[in-house]
């Protein structure tokens, strides 16, 4: 079934055996996968990051941002997406607003995430399916604006939430210019009907393609190769989103405030600097492997991994931690992020969210109060900071954590001895890019730690997230496809097994089989381990009860499968 899949959903041949690899091999595999982001077009006809068309479009988009920065009255640049794409939208909008504030300019960047701010730090995958909600949230965010540049981010060119927003932009060209950021060739955009809408992602994209010539819409969608863990777009998808947006917005800022015009050369050089960042980060494979090993050990013996961060690096910690639940079926206690200054530092749209539950307690005070007393030598704590941010706070914090004999590792430029590529341009751009590259570097490290640790815990089968939560239509379809691949059974049978696991019912009533996928995913929200359960059902033809007990006896899915097959 693989040839029919879009690039972002394919499984990567480089990582087929990642679930049996050691920590250092896992890191080397991730390095090879991330390296694919910068590969040239290898004759497959897909656009890549460095393709001429991609760079040209980035120049045009940066010029549109520049116009808004120079004349911000009644204007807005909105970045929007679901899951990781929405979280990166938040991170970038916050970073660039901070920089505007530093030079006393109007703040023009704003973000939207499907599901609202609670989705910044916890998994809310269902709103991704709601095209109308996307449109309404965009309309509300832009109330009264006369000019809006809208960046809709969907790595897989698939989120109905974003399709709804792009459609709305196309219907109001007098105000909105839509820019689509994704990582598949245009013809691979999702063409599945969207509940309550007359368009699909694919059809919206076709309309945008027609408007590209007249610069009324833009599409930046280079392929970056399949993810290391199939479909896990938080990894390369998220990194490439950061790179594209940071390059475009930095170039626009430099043009608006330092009179350094946006050119293809500026864009290309800036992207090359990100390539160097990836190379330099992975030149520390040994140190990263030590972290992966420590985090894996913690998770394997029911310990926890905590990221204690300062500034934007802390935001990356929060983001990485929040993705472990939907990706690996992890508990929110397994990997957690904390930020110095809490919500005041985050400055998110909806303000403090602490009242929503314990998983929204994210300040260092919360860590000291709720987590520190519980820490043991099974746990791993990573401190994330840049030297300029912390002024000794890190040392104090590390001392307090070390008293509990926890494995502590500082991730900052001095500890990892990460040296940075020589500055490409003079002036403020140099400062900006230095800071941004720290962020990409930190993201890669954290993705490696959390992915590697869960792989070592047995949460990945071959290179598939077999314990994925089935909480929206994309994930339901992915789960059914995975069952087909792993069991060799036909689609219908795999969907039936999945439904049995979701509804916890041996018999599928007509009520169940006649419901739509949206209804199934609402029920699946309250279930865990549905894909492993369905897989055992398919492989052994046993009862649900028996499948559950097999899974309880051996939680590592690959081992259960080996047992079932033998
Ligand atoms: C992926 C992550 C998801 C995606 C979300 C949006 O690792 O768990 O939350 O970010 O589904 O995907 P896309 O393709 O629209 O950017």
Tokens standing for residue 268: 């290309």
pLDDT at 416: 38
Number of folded domains in the chain?
Answer: 2
Q: Is the pTM of this model over 0.90?
A: yes
- What mean pLDDT, rounded, does the chain reach? 90
The last residue of a domain, from among 246, 265, 284: 265
What is the atom index within ligand 1 of the atom nearest the CA of 153?
16
Does residue 211 lie in a domain region?
A: yes
Q: Name the domain boundary from 265, 293, 312.
A: 265
Q: Is the pLDDT of residue 417 over 60?
A: no
Residue 546 lies in a domain: yes
pLDDT at 28: 98
Does the residue 60 lie in any domain? yes
Confidence of residue 40 (pLDDT cuts 50, 70, 90): confident
For residue 80, is it within any domain?
yes
Which pLDDT band holds residue 403 (cuts at 50, 70, 90)? low
Instruction: Determine the atom of ligand 1 nearest the C-alpha atom of 162.
Output: 15
**Which atom belonging to ligand 1 lies closest to the Cα atom of 87?**
10
Arithmetic mean of pLDDT, 127-149: 97
- Mean pLDDT, residues 3-7 taken together: 90
What span, in angstroms and rounded, lies between the C-alpha atoms of 47 and 274?
A: 18
Least confident range from 73-87, 285-299, 383-397, 423-437: namely 423-437
CA of 125 to the centre of ligand 1 (A): 8
CATH number where 483 lies: 1.10.8.1080
In angstroms, what CA-CA distances link 519 with 126, 470, 527, 557?
A: 10, 11, 13, 27
pLDDT at residue 407 above 90? no
Asked if the structure places residue 461 within a domain, the reply is no
Write the pLDDT tens digit of every residue in 469-513. Answer: 899 999 999 999 999 999 999 999 999 999 999 999 999 999 999
The 10s digit of each residue's pLDDT in 195-253 is 999 999 999 999 999 999 999 999 999 999 999 999 999 999 999 999 999 999 999 99
Q: Is residue 90 part of a domain?
A: yes
The model's pLDDT over 477-487, given as tens digits with 9 standing for 90+, comes to 999 999 999 99
Cβ of 154 below 6 Å from ligand 1:
yes
Range of the domain at 532: 469-565
Q: Over 215-251, what HEC string results?
A: CCCEEECCCCCCCCCCCCCCCHHHHHHHHHHHHHHHH
Q: SS3 for 170? A: helix
Whole-Å CA distances, 69 to 58, 147, 322, 556: 16, 12, 32, 52
Q: What is the pLDDT of residues 119-137, one digit of tens each?
A: 999 989 999 999 999 999 9
CATH number of the structural domain spanning residue 151 = 3.40.50.10490
The answer, yes or no, to whether any atom of ligand 1 lies below 6 A from the CB of 372, is no
Q: How confident is the model at residue 424 (pLDDT cuts 50, 70, 90)?
A: very low
Atom 11 (ligand 1) nearest CA: 83
Which of 9, 33, 81, 84, when mutated, tests ligand 1's pocket best, judged by the most ligand atoms within 8 Å of its CB?
84
Q: Considering 232, 247, 265, which residue would you say is the last residue of a domain?
A: 265
Residue 434: is its pLDDT beyond 60? Answer: no
Average pLDDT over residues 368-383: 89
Whether 17 maps to a domain, the answer reads no
């Amino acid at each position: 079934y693989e040839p029919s899949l879009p690039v972002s959903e394919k499984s990567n041949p480089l990582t087929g055996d990642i679930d049996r690899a050691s920590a250092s091999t896992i890191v080397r595999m991730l390095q090879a996968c991330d390296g694919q982001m910068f590969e040239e077009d290898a004759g497959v006809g897909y656009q890549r990051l460095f393709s001429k068309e991609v760079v040209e479009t980035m120049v045009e988009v940066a010029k549109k941002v520049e116009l808004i920065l120079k004349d911000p009255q009644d204007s807005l640049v909105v970045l929007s997406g679901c899951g990781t794409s929405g979280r990166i939208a938040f991170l970038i909008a916050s970073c660039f607003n901070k920089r505007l504030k530093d030079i006393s300019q109007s703040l023009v960047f704003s973000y939207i995430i499907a599901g609202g701010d609670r989705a910044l730090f916890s998994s809310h995958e269902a709103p991704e399916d709601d095209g109308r909600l996307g449109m309404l949230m965009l309309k509300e965010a832009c109330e009264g604006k006369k000019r809006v540049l809208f960046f809709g981010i969907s790595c897989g060119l698939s989120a109905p939430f974003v399709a709804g927003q792009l459609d709305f932009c196309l219907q109001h060209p007098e105000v909105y210019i839509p820019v689509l950021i994704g990582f598949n060739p245009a013809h691979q955009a999702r063409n599945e009907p969207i509940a309550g809408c007359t368009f699909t992602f694919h059809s919206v994209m076709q309309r945008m393609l027609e408007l590209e010539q007249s610069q009324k819409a833009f599409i930046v969608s280079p392929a970056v190769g399949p993810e290391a863990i199939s479909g896990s777009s938080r990894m390369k998808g998220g990194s490439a989103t950061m790179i594209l947006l940071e390059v475009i917005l930095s170039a626009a800022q430099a043009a608006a405030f330092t009179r350094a015009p946006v050119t293809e050369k500026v864009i290309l050089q800036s992207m090359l600097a990100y390539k160097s960042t990836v190379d330099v980060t992975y030149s520390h494979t040994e140190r990263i492997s030590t972290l992966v090993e420590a985090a894996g050990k913690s998770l394997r013996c029911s310990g926890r991994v905590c990221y204690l961060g300062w500034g934007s690096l802390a935001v990356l910690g929060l983001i990485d931690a929040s993705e472990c639940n939907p990706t690996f079926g992890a508990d929110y206690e397994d990997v957690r992020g904390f930020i110095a200054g809490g919500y005041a530092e985050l400055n998110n749209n909806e303000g403090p969210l602490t009242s929503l539950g314990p998983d929204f307690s994210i300040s260092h005070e919360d860590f000291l109060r709720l987590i520190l007393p519980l820490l043991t030598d099974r746990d791993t704590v990573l401190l994330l900071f840049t030297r300029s941010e912390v002024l000794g706070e890190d040392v104090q914090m590390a001392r307090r954590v070390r008293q509990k004999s926890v494995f502590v590792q500082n991730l900052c430029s001095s500890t990892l001895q990460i040296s940075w590529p020589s500055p490409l341009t003079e002036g403020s751009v140099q400062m900006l890019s230095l800071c941004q590259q720290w962020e990409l570097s930190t993201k890669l490290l954290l993705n490696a730690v959390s992915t590697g640790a869960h792989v070592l815990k047995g949460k990945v089968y071959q290179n598939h997230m077999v314990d994925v939560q089935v909480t929206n239509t994309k994930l339901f379809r992915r789960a059914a496809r995975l069952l087909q691949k792993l069991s060799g059974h036909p689609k219908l049978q795999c969907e039936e097994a999945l439904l049995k696991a979701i509804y916890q019912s041996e018999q599928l009533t007509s009520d169940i089989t006649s419901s739509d996928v949206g209804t199934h995913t609402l029920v699946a929200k309250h279930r865990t381990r549905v894909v492993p359960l369905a897989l055992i059902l398919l492989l052994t033809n046993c009862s649900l009860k028996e499948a559950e007990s097999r899974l309880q006896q051996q939680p590592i899915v690959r081992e259960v499968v080996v047992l079932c097959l033998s």
